[in-house]
Structures are given as structure tokens and as C-alpha cells.
Amino acid sequence: MELSNKTIIVTGASSGIGAAAAALFAAEGANVVLGARRASELETLVARIGQSGGRAVCLPGDVRDKGYAGALVDLALKEFGGLDGAFNNAGIVGELRPVAEMTFEAWNEVISVNLTSAFLAAKAQIPMMKQRGGSIVFTSSFVGFSNGGMPGMGAYAASKAGMVGLMQSLASDHAAEGIRVNAVLPGGTITPAGGEGNPSVLEFIANLHPMKRMAAADEIAQAALFLLSDRSSFMTGSPMLVDGGISVRLA
Ligand code: NAD
């Protein structure tokens, strides 16, 4: 059990990587506090985790709302008495189009859901973790490191690269307080946002990877588990690529 007695917030837990992570963390002994917009998906997952002997609660909400990250922290305190980790994973790809054709609104939506939400999450979680230390993990993307041949990714790439900068600043500011902050940078992953159900998109993305396949959501969840667990105790400020080699494709 890698996460025994740890209480961990997971956002974007209603599907894809977040749902896989929530189930994995609970199976590894964590109390999980689940966030995303869709209540019914979250409640189904909470029930499934409970049936497997795990402990989970949820609070539906939008990561763009200023109070939502704090409400998840409050729920962790109320239900489980503290907070040890957070997997700030909710995100969207947004409109895929060249920047010159992108509307201001489309740009802002991606930046607020992906990057401003990371700021809001850290702002709510850090004060709580000052008491007994903790580990924060953000879901960035290989696109925030090296475009890898993906078209129309201006806003998404900026949001995910910005998240790495934010993560490294947080890591530097809070290392001495026992708070570690890292990011996982997934390659193409089979999820609703990753083209699930669309064979031609899946094939295009798979072929960009040297491994000639996409990740399963659980393969990304395993990396987040490592960063949240004490096995990564000397890691902070690390943008951890879990990308099937896509970022070295042209190297
Ligand atoms: P997904 O669409 O299955 O899951 C996204 C989750 O984020 C859902 O639970 C959704 O409800 C939640 N979410 C989206 N907007 C939200 C909002 N405003 N408020 C609250 N919750 C919100 O997609 P996924 O692929 O599992 O994505 C998870 C993360 O992984 C995202 O940050 C995404 O950018 C990142 N990522 C995905 C891939 C991929 O190929 N699938 C690759 C690299 C990075």
C-alpha cells in the first residue's frame, strides 16, 4: 500500500486519467476526495471505490470557480482530518486551431481551466500542507514540453508549459516546508479528451509516438501515484515525462 493513511484530492476524477487515478490511489490505501463537474459520474465512482473497500467522497464543481479548490480542501479536513496530497488533473484541450484564427474567448477558456485552476488549487492546498508536509502533482502534457507534431495547440501548449513554470516556482518556494510539487507530462492517452471512440484520431496520435501506441489512463495514474507516494521523497520541481517517447521523436 503506497498511500496508506494519506488523504488526497483528485480533480478531473469523473473520467479518463483522473478516474483511473482515483481508483488506483484508493486501492493503495488513500482516502480520496474527488472533484469534477459531473455529479453522477463522481457518485458512481465513489460507490465503486466503497464497494472495493476504499474510502472516497466527492464534491462536484468547476475548477474555474474561485471557491472550489478551497471547498475540496475543506471537505478533506471534514471527512478525513487533513490533506497530504493533491492530483490537480482537470483539464481541457479546447479548440484546436492556429493562434491567428483563435478567438480571445477560446484562448481564455483553456488558460482558465488548465492554468488558472492550477494557481487556485495551489493557493488553497499549500496552507493546509504547511502543517505536516505534502505532495502536489499537476497534470501538464508532453505538449507543454515539446509540441511533438500536434497541430493547433497554441493555447493548450501555453497553458501546460505555464503549469510547469508554476510548479517549479511552488517547488522552490515550499521545499523547506516539506511540500513537494511535481508534474506528470503524459503523452497521448486513451480517454474521452484523447480521442477515445474515434479510431482515426487514435491511430494518428498513436503513430506520433515511437512506441506506436497511446497510453492507457492507468499508466499515467501509476506515475502520479509514484509522485504522491513517499517513494519519490527526493523529487520536487520535476516535470516527469510519461510520453511513450513522443518528445524525443525528432531528437
Ligand atoms: P477527460 O476529458 O477524460 O478528463 C478531464 C477531466 O477534467 C474530466 O473529469 C472533466 O470533467 C474535468 N474537467 C474539465 N473541465 C473542468 C472544469 N472546468 N471544472 C472541473 N472539472 C473539469 O480527459 P483526460 O485525458 O483524462 O485529461 C486529464 C488531464 O490529462 C487533462 O489535464 C489533460 O489536459 C491531460 N492530458 C491528457 C492527454 C491525453 O492524451 N488524454 C495527454 C496529455 C495530458
* Atom of ligand 1 minimally distant from the CA of 20: 26
pTM score, whole prediction: 0.98
Q: To test ligand 1's pocket by mutation, which of 10, 11, 15 has the most ligand atoms within 8 angstroms of CB?
A: 15
φ/ψ (deg, to 5) at 124: -85, -35
Average pLDDT of the segment spanning 136-148? 93
Band (pLDDT 50/70/90 cuts) for residue 250 is: low
The chain-wide mean pLDDT, for the chain, equals 96
Going from the Cα of 251 to the center of ligand 1, the distance in angstroms, rounded, reads 28
pLDDT at 149: 73
CA–CA dist 107, 153 (Å, integer): 10
Crossing angle between the packed helical segments 117-129 and 154-174, to the nearest 10 degrees: 20
Instruction: Check whether 188 has a pLDDT greater than 80.
Output: yes
Q: To test ligand 1's pocket by mutation, which of 38, 44, 89, 150 has the most ligand atoms within 8 angstroms of CB?
A: 89
pLDDT at 220: 98
Q: Is 156 a catalytic residue?
A: yes
Strands 179-186 and 55-60: unpaired
Summarize pLDDT for 27-81 with one digit per residue, the tens.
Answer: 999 999 999 999 999 999 999 999 999 999 999 999 999 999 999 999 999 999 9
Share of the chain above pLDDT 70, in %: 99
Chosen CATH of 7-244 out of 3.20.20.70, 3.40.50.300, 3.40.50.2020, 3.40.50.720? 3.40.50.720
- Let me know: does 60 contact 39? Beta carbons within 8 Å: yes
